[in-house]
Amino acid sequence: MAVDSNYGAFMENFLLRPSSSAHDLPLRGLTFAVKDIFDVDGYVTGFGNPDWARTHRAATSTAPSVLDVLRGGATCIGKTIVDEMAYSINGENKHYGTPRNPCAPEYVPGGSSSGSAVAVGAALVDFSLGTDTGGSVRVPASYCGILGFRPSHGAISTVGVIPMAQSFDTVGWFARDPVIFNRVGQTLLQVPDVSPLQPIQIIIAEDCFQLSSIPDDRCSQVLVKSVKKLIGDDIVKHINLGDYVEDRVPSLNHFMSKELKGQQHNIPSLAALSTAMRSLQRYEFKVNHGEWVTRIKPDLGPGISERVWEAVMATGEDNDVCHTVKSELRDALTDLLGASGVLAIPTVPGPPPKLQTDPSTLEVFRAKAFSLLSIAGVSGFCQVSIPLGMHDNLPVAVSLLAKHGSDGFLLNLVETLYETLQEQARIAEN
């Protein structure tokens, strides 16, 4: 296929047909694509890098998550481009090209599930599978103006998926339509279709929204107006999340340097959370791939090369503290949200960066982004990124988080809120 017709989203095209043609299958008649990090029997899993593809044999089985959606009645039409070794949230790949953002062609599509997000955003498939370790479903979903879900950690099998960092790895998915989005989720999570449960409270993390360059009336206020219209005024609460986390996650003190406390452009406790997450992620990446990287010395793109080699040097000296932070944050956020509360934050701190932005310029943006992304990453909570139209011709998104294991509840809430959110977003745009 020419790049123009597939937006550069695909590594290779093939057909995997559903294992049954029963009429009542939930995903019958739908097409999907998979990120080139999932094993598909008979195909080499390329992991975004030609040296990896060259040194690995074809898979001899298919990842259970892929089999689940095939059994659900969907047809797979191919594998999509991934950032090298899944070690980026940008979406640019120097070897295979950068999938073209269908919302904003001059801007990055987001990574590392870049091709999967673009395939959905460009309506080449009905849904797609990606993975999210540090933000690799949520970021491209927000940049490409589509729905993206990071499930509760451990809720969906990662067998047959190249690991990056097991303490954070999840199998996520993208769709444009909230009903299809929910159906895919129910199939992957193997949860029954239950009546939607009304949230007890929706908590707006005010300080997180202040990190974003998107005006309040185009993001948090769209959500607040939608919730008030559909559910009522009394469930909306406000919080300074950074202060709450600093107070309730004492082990974060280990990562709270004076430098973090003095940062004007970030929230110190969430920046420390990001430091803890990336520290453990680096060490686990090294355990998984350090020997291969050292032996093969792969050709890696700018930014990614530095991160990979930094990971290879990781000592793991902070691992115990990182695991304590994980457990303290999960307890703190569980107390905050209760059985059916929802936390609202921006998915990312602003619109997508331009293509080929200098890596050093991206660092401040990345630091803010990981402060937001690490909340679900470290707690293991489920998170959904929901598009809210465009601001200055660039896509806007908001995220909702629910406690670990509340994936079905969160998916139903998205389906309930979606049309009103889009309506309020259109009003705010005009």
Radius of gyration of the chain (CA): 20
* Residue 209 to residue 205: CA distance in whole angstroms: 7
Q: Alpha-carbon torsion 260, 279, 305, 119, what sign?
A: negative
DSSP 122: T
> Do the strands 382-391 and 31-35 form a parallel or antiparallel pair, or are they unpaired?
unpaired
Q: Answer for the pair 84, 93: CB distance below 8 angstroms, yes or no.
A: yes
Structure tokens at 312: 């290879």
* Residue 232 to residue 255: CA distance in whole angstroms: 40
Structure tokens at 225: 């107006």
Q: Answer for the pair 383, 142: CB distance below 8 angstroms, yes or no.
A: no
Reported as half-sphere exposure (CB side, CA atoms, 13 A), residue 319 has a value of 14
Burial of 68 (0-12, 13-18, 19+ CB in 10 A): buried
Instruction: List CB contacts of 110: < 8 A, sequence separation 6 or more.
Output: 89, 90, 91, 101, 117, 139, 140, 141, 142, 143, 144, 352
Structure tokens at 408: 């079905």
Q: Is 269 marked active-site?
A: no
Could you list the beta-strand ranges (E) of 136-197. 147-150, 170-175
Q: Which of 296, 286, 277, 45 is nearest to 167 (CA)?
A: 277
Q: Is 112 marked active-site?
A: yes
Q: Which of 65, 88, 112, 128 is catalytic?
A: 112
Q: At what angle do helices 359-379 and 268-296 cross, to 10 degrees?
A: 100
- Which residue do the tokens 């040194």 mark? 55
* Residue 75 to residue 157: CA distance in whole angstroms: 20
Structure tokens at 165: 């960092």
Q: Which of 65, 116, 128, 136 is catalytic?
A: 136
> Do the strands 341-346 and 31-35 form a parallel or antiparallel pair, or are they unpaired?
unpaired
Could you list the beta-strand ranges (E) of 226-285. 236-239
> Which residues are marked as active site?
35, 112, 136
